[in-house]
Structure 1
Amino acid sequence: MSTRSLTFLVVTFIAFNPSNAKQAQPFSDILKKINEWGGEAQSQILISGPMVVAGVLCFIASAISSAGGIGGGGLFIPILSIVAGLDMQTASSLSAFMVTGGSIANVMCSICIACPKLGGKSLIDYDIALSSEPCMLLGVSLGVICNLVFPDWFITVLFALFLAWCTSKTCRSGLQFWKNESEEIRRNGLEQLEKGQLVENDGPNSIEVPLLVPQENTKLRIPWFKLAVLLLIWFSFFSVYLLRGNTYTEGIISLEPCGVGYWILSSAQVPLAMVFTTWIVFSKERIRDLTLIPEVSSLTRNKFVFPLMALIAGILGGLFGIGGGMLISPLLLQVGITPEVTAATCSFMVLFSTTMSALQFMMLGMEHVQVALILAIMCFVASLLGLLVVQRAIRKYGRASIIVFSISIVMCISNVLMTSFGAIKVWTDYESGQYMGFKLPC
């Protein structure tokens, strides 16, 4: 991306920044801010040794996380906080941009590849995304409020317990998928042996069985209407943030932070989520079971299973300060969604939620925007490399369970890092005599 393109993006974001509501700034001041980006503060962040080490670790974390479509926020935040020494707010804002960059790479690959097994559809299940996205965005808002109310020690304990449970379930799912794939490979090998289609290998008793049968080219079908509805949902929720602002800055409408009008406008997200979810679930194009394992597809007969899972994942994601992809991915695997579709659909949903977070940080007038864009591009490249390696491994060995194991690895490392970081912060607050109980949201 050229310097001129970056400048155009920055001017656009600053021009729509609600933090300028109290006092309008002339355009010359905006250009002055852009010219100051190469100043001393951001240069120190870019060239510092710890930041370079953190960038390399985040590159590796993004490549690993991209396979499971879970963003990697659970790795980025502790790496930036522990290795680079950044405060939690700065680490969270940079993480939002990094997850956005990785999600864009995942979605680009998933949306452009037709899956012959699904009749030419992409790996993204738009029906699941449609029914889940309104509740996920609502859940993130509720989770952020819970994050302000709950003490840090309580959040740390909840995170450790829930992510440990999710990691255990995901590992079991991965082992089950591996067992099913081994059985399928063995069965296909016996069928080809009966047909005399096997080729003798070097050994006298060795045979070579193709793990993946080539599929004929299938024309990709993109559901433009569903994409338009998803964008409508996103803009509807974003409009609430744009009008309301937050506890740090005013929105388009001048409201007292945490006042009556503030909470009335915030509560508008509840009917928004209910209306969108009800309309989508009961529309003519119902949620299909094309991507479900036949043996367990009966678990999703309730049309509100996916919205409920998305609401829970959104609340926990907002509470823990990480993307909802890491939390909804194990839930989708538990109801029988195949690993490939789970990874693609989760990355697609994460893109909507993480862009919302990134723009909210922009509305807060975050510093180091240039650094955030550079890290986002870095994660974009890392995700492409990670996807390339994983897809080649799947084609070579015929085991999509590799995706599930990559999710397990990321979740396990995230649990250790986030729990350790949270425990250190809690102990520091305790020693300094800070209040350790529940708080008001404002």
Structure 2
Amino acid sequence: MEQFGVKRRVLRSILLDFLNFALAFMLVSAERSLKHGESARESETNNNYFLKAINFLWQSDQSGYNHVWPEMEFNWQIVVGSIIGFFGAAFGGVGGVGGGGIFVPMLSLIIGFDAKSSTAISKCMIMGGAISAVYFNLKLRHPTLDMPIIDYDLALLIQPMLMLGISIGVAFNVIFADWMVTVLLIILFIVTSTKAFFKGVETWKKETLVKKEAARCLASNDSGDEDVEYKPLPSGPNGDPPQDNTDKEVPVWENICWKELGLLCFVWVAFLVLQIAKNHTATCSAAYWVLNLLQIPVSVGVSLYEAVSLYKGRRVIASKGDQGTNWRVLQLVTYCAFGGLAGIVGGLLGLGGGFIMGPLFLELGIPPQVSSATATFAMTFSSSMSVVEYYLLKRFPVPYALYFTAVAAIAALIGQYIVRRLIIVFGRASLIIFILAFTIFVSAISLGGVGIANMIVKIEHKEYMGFENLCKYEG
């Protein structure tokens, strides 16, 4: 009997343990199920956010772009736009930046074009201003050295990569949404305008020291009552006293380096042929991408030829004097990369690329007059090519483009003449740097303001604000 009681207690203990284990298992399973359900819901929520972000940025059948081309007629918009365009071209031509940062807001806010058509017409105006400025500069000499004011070797290093960048930038102009362009533009312009301003202050101080030294020399010669004559900052070899070529003019053909000009024209013609051939192929077809990729060996090949020649000492950046003879590989690669970047952003925003090249040339130690002239010379090729590309994309009305191109051409010529006389009168080549910084800063404010305003309107109307589909683009 006692033995049976023991067995019953053991059996009850085993049964209770089994029940406790079963209860614990059920609780753990329930907890795991609960956690799994929460995790699944959380994962589903995250996936929803991710999908919403993807849908915001990319919908292959959606487009946020529509042509807005106002009728061309004489009214207050044309008058005000012409005045703003005139001053923008005058300042932009002098600073070597083209003035696109002023043209685009004017065309959008005053004339009434959509943002991307404004970008295309802006390129036409930059081309007109650049051609006028180059014609003016082709008669001038380097302010302190016996060479043209345009540094052809520097242009040959930068311009082919600038052209390649322009082609990429024009494609990005089709693909990118306006708000993406606005963010990039504000950051880039504020940085470059700040650097240019401080470079201007530095050059102003150097010029002040030169003027004081000239005044002391006059005083020692008992000529203290005479005006202090303008003397350019030294930039010649071996620190030799600089020549003063500020007011010197020569026939155009004496200022042309034919071999370098021939290579630059070769790049332009090669790109033109490729662009026209590409226009006769189906977008995103195999032939389309082959023709696009053929631009790379053309541009890289010419820039590489110039870079190797500079590295081995067969060629020099003559406008830097002796300092233009010693180049490191990293320096040359960096400058070519900046040329490509200037082209990409220029093609994307409808600018000339000078807002990057100008500050870059100044950092290289290039005199302000040479920096402006060389940047404008390079922009002539890049802007004219982008005009061809935008024309093939049917991005602008021809009558408006011809009119504003003429306005910019006249303004650039007048601006070059006036500023050249001011430099001679005041003895301050740093005026060009301050004009450069001012133009870039105004461009940042105006373009940034227009971009933010357009972005707010699109948000309010819940319009599509993602990437465009390049393969479905129709002009």
Q: Which residue number corresponds to residue 225 of structure 1?
A: 259
Instruction: Show the 5 A alignment for 1:200-239.
Output: 200-201=224-225, 208-212=227-231, 220-239=254-273
Q: What number of residue pairs does the alignment pair up?
A: 385
Report the CA distance between 1:243 and its aligned residue: 0.5
Report the CA distance between 1:147 and its aligned residue: 3.5
Q: Which residue number corresponds to residue 166 of structure 2?
A: 140
Query: What secondary structure is seen at the aligned counterpart in 1 of 2:445?
Result: helix
Question: Are 1:290 and 2:338 matched, yes or no?
Answer: no
Q: Which residue number corresponds to residue 154 of structure 1?
A: 180
Q: Which residue number corresponds to residue 223 of structure 2?
A: 199
Contact kept, 8 Å, 1:171 with 1:404, in 2: the verdict is: yes
Instruction: Show the 5 A alignment for 1:307-322.
Output: 307-322=336-351
Partner Cα separation in structure 1 for residue 76 and residue 223 of structure 2:
55
Query: What secondary structure is seen at the aligned counterpart in 2 of 1:322?
Result: coil
Report the CA distance between 1:97 and its aligned residue: 1.9
Partner Cα separation in structure 2 for residue 314 and residue 178 of structure 1:
30
Q: Which moved more, 1:356-365 or 1:297-306?
A: 297-306
Report the CA distance between 1:300 and its aligned residue: 6.8
Report the CA distance between 1:155 and its aligned residue: 2.0
Instruction: Show the 5 A alignment for 1:414-425.
Output: 414-425=443-454
Name the amino acid aligned to 1:146.
F
Q: Which residue number corresponds to residue 429 of structure 1?
A: 458
Q: Which residue number corresponds to residue 47 of structure 1?
A: 74
CA RMSD of aligned residues (A): 2.5
Contact kept, 8 Å, 2:318 with 2:324, in 1: the verdict is: no
Name the amino acid aligned to 1:199.
S
Partner Cα separation in structure 2 for residue 214 and residue 125 of structure 1:
17
Q: Which residue number corresponds to residue 260 of structure 1?
A: 286
Question: Are 1:172 and 2:187 matched, yes or no?
Answer: no
Kindly provide the CA deviation profile for residues 72-125 of structure 1, in whole angstroms up to 9, marking residues without a partner as x. Answer: 111111101101112224323322221111111110111111236221x22111
Q: Which residue number corresponds to residue 107 of structure 2?
A: 80
Change (3 A) 1:287 1:193: farther
Name the amino acid aligned to 1:282.
V
Contact kept, 8 Å, 2:120 with 2:396, in 1: the verdict is: no
Query: What secondary structure is seen at the aligned counterpart in 1 of 2:470?
Result: coil
Contact kept, 8 Å, 1:115 with 1:218, in 2: the verdict is: no
**Counterpart among 259, 263, 274 of residue 240 in structure 1:** 274
Change (3 A) 1:392 1:267: same
Change (3 A) 1:286 1:343: farther
Report the CA distance between 1:412 and its aligned residue: 0.9
Q: Which moved more, 1:100-109 or 1:265-274?
A: 265-274
Contact kept, 8 Å, 2:116 with 2:173, in 1: the verdict is: no
Partner Cα separation in structure 2 for residue 374 and residue 320 of structure 1:
21
Report the CA distance between 1:366 and its aligned residue: 5.8
Kindly provide the CA deviation profile for residues 201-225 of structure 1, in whole angstroms up to 9, marking residues without a partner as x. Answer: 3xxxxx5321248659686442111
Change (3 A) 1:404 1:381: same
Partner Cα separation in structure 2 for residue 123 and residue 241 of structure 1:
32
Kindly provide the CA deviation profile for residues 151-191 of structure 1, in whole angstroms up to 9, marking residues without a partner as x. Answer: 33222111101110011100000000101111111123223
Q: Please report the TM-score for the alignment, with normalisation by the length of structure 2.
A: 0.75
In percent, how many aligned pairs have the same letter? 29
Kindly provide the CA deviation profile for residues 242-295 of structure 1, in whole angstroms up to 9, marking residues without a partner as x. Answer: 1001xxxxx2xxx22122221122111112222122222224874524323878
Give the ranges of 4+ consecutive aligned residues of structure 1 lying more than 4 Å apart after TM superposition. 213-219, 284-287, 293-301
Contact kept, 8 Å, 2:108 with 2:118, in 1: the verdict is: yes
**Counterpart among 89, 99, 113 of residue 62 in structure 1:** 89
Q: Which residue number corresponds to residue 29 of structure 1?
A: none
Q: Please report the TM-score for the alignment, with normalisation by the length of structure 1.
A: 0.80
Residue ranges of structure 2 left out of the alignment (5+ in a row): 1-68, 232-242
Instruction: Show the 5 A alignment for 1:255-404.
Output: 255-283=281-309, 286-292=314-320, 302-365=331-394, 368-404=397-433
Query: What secondary structure is seen at the aligned counterpart in 2 of 1:292?
Result: helix
Kindly provide the CA deviation profile for residues 374-412 of structure 1, in whole angstroms up to 9, marking residues without a partner as x. Answer: 222221111111111100110111111000000111111
Name the amino acid aligned to 2:98.
G
Contact kept, 8 Å, 2:128 with 2:409, in 1: the verdict is: yes
Partner Cα separation in structure 2 for residue 380 and residue 218 of structure 1:
21
Change (3 A) 1:412 1:87: same
Query: What secondary structure is seen at the aligned counterpart in 2 of 1:173?
Result: helix
Kindly provide the CA deviation profile for residues 301-349 of structure 1, in whole angstroms up to 9, marking residues without a partner as x. Answer: 7333431220121122123232211222112112221111110001101
Contact kept, 8 Å, 1:299 with 1:335, in 2: the verdict is: no
Change (3 A) 1:360 1:438: closer
Query: What secondary structure is seen at the aligned counterpart in 1 of 2:351?
Result: coil
Partner Cα separation in structure 2 for residue 391 and residue 300 of structure 1:
35
Change (3 A) 1:208 1:312: same
Contact kept, 8 Å, 1:340 with 1:403, in 2: the verdict is: yes
Report the CA distance between 1:440 and its aligned residue: 4.5
